[in-house]
Amino acid sequence: MVVAEAGGAPELTRLPVPTPGPGEVTVDVVACGAGLTLEMARTGALGGGFPRVLGHEFSGHVREVGEGVSNWRPGDRVTASFYLTCGDCHWCRHGRETLCTAFGGFVGAAIDGAFAEVIRVPARNLVAVPEQVELADAGIVADALATPLHVMNQRLSTRAGDWVAVIGAGGGLGVHTVAVARTVGARVAAVESNADKRKALTELGLADLVLDGSDWPIACAAVIDCVGNTETLAESMRALAPGGTLVVLGVRGTDRLTIPAIDLILGELTVTGTRYASRNEIAQALDLVAAGRIHPIVGARFPLVELPAVFELVRSGQAFGRIVVDVAHRSAG
């Protein structure tokens, strides 16, 4: 499914099957997740060029390995990081590869992505999928689950019993952030403006509180803002307890966070961003799923040919949880 130009819709197109170059692999794609990052790729906001196959949170079986690739073989069950990193700079060598100083862009933006039967990526990006994890779910583990795991590992030092609020808790990242926060023993307030999503969050039963954001009965040790607009950022700051931390996980356009600096001093508050996850954290997220400690929350599944409808659903903001596109299952031949 190729997007011909920035802002265009994906169209079914016949392309030559890619073959791996040195240090690369090709993967027969089983499934690929769809979230708001995809919309940024479609409009060109993630860089790269067009025409382009989008799709970055994928899973599948290794198809072919290129010259010099010795640690993967055809048939291996895999997912991947969607950051094209150098593997050699200070950040790459210290497990914070998403800060790579020689960053090469994103899978599904700088190079063709996974809304195709075969994808070609650097072998370095692959992460093995344990037998206990369904390949249909593994792609969303690599983004929607690994990203909040990075928050808990690297950006917060949450203690058991702390209140953690998740803003935009009904979205694909939000609902998985609620799930991951629970695994560290936090008490979780799921904040969601959409009434249908609040109902779904209540039914899911992972959060201790489900709020609409108009009222904060608690002060929070941490607020993780998955929406990141001017209103939610201001609201997040007000919800912090003394010593609290705001983590900006999502962002909308060029919205700004404006706060009185004196509040930072008087409350010893911390404001930080968070950026995706390392391959090591993707592997950890897969292990949590394999151990049954977290379950990927899939809102809907679509065949690849229905990708235009998936894009519309993502844009509408109405989808609960993560959307999965079944690439291997082609209902329209």
**Minimal distance in Å, beta carbon 103 to Zn ion?**
7
**Minimal distance in Å, beta carbon 55 to Zn ion?**
24
- Distance CA(313)–CA(140), nearest Å, equals 17
**Minimal distance in Å, beta carbon 276 to Zn ion?**
14
By C-beta, is 100 or 189 nearer to Zn ion?
A: 100
* Binder among 30, 34, 100, 324 for Zn ion (CB under 5 A): 100
**Minimal distance in Å, beta carbon 90 to Zn ion?**
8
Burial of 280 (0-12, 13-18, 19+ CB in 10 A): middle
Which segment (27-35, 78-86, 129-137, 141-149) binds Zn ion by CB under 5 A?
A: 78-86
What is the 3-class SS of 23-53, one letter each residue? CEEEEEEEEEEECHHHHHHHCCCCCCCCCEE
By C-beta, is 92 or 201 nearer to Zn ion?
A: 92
Angle between helix 195-204 and helix 172-183 axes, rounded to 10 deg: 30
What is the enclosing helix (H) or strand (E) of 198?
helix 195-204
Greatest extent of the chain over all pairs of C-alpha atoms, in Å: 63
By C-beta, is 100 or 285 nearer to Zn ion?
A: 100
* Binder among 92, 107, 110, 116 for Zn ion (CB under 5 A): 92
Assess contact for 56 and 29: CB atoms under 8 A: no
**Minimal distance in Å, beta carbon 251 to Zn ion?**
23
**Minimal distance in Å, beta carbon 117 to Zn ion?**
30
* Residues 168-227 interacting with Zn ion (rule: CB under 5 A): none
By C-beta, is 42 or 124 nearer to Zn ion?
A: 124
**Minimal distance in Å, beta carbon 252 to Zn ion?**
28
Q: What are phi and psi of 321, to 5 degrees?
A: 70, -165
* Binder among 6, 40, 86, 313 for Zn ion (CB under 5 A): 86
Q: Provide the residue count of the chain.
A: 333
Could you tell me which residues come within 8 angstroms of residue 64 by beta carbon, excluding any fewer than 6 positions away?
A: 19, 20, 25, 26, 74
CA dihedral 283, 25, 324, 329 (to 10 degrees): -130
By C-beta, is 126 or 227 nearer to Zn ion?
A: 126
Which segment (12-20, 91-99, 146-154, 174-182) binds Zn ion by CB under 5 A?
A: 91-99
What the block records as the tokens of 50 is 């067009």
Neighbours of 105 (CB within 10 A): 16
- Distance CA(3)–CA(17), nearest Å, equals 17
128 binds Zn ion (CB under 5 A): no
89 binds Zn ion (CB under 5 A): yes
Which segment (26-34, 43-51, 98-106, 152-160) binds Zn ion by CB under 5 A?
A: 98-106
Which segment (82-90, 128-136, 276-284, 311-319) binds Zn ion by CB under 5 A?
A: 82-90
* Torsion sign, CA atoms 165, 167, 173, 175: positive
Residues in contact with Zn ion, counted by CB under 5 A, come to a total of 5
Give me the residues that bind Zn ion (CB under 5 A), please. Answer: 85-86, 89, 92, 100
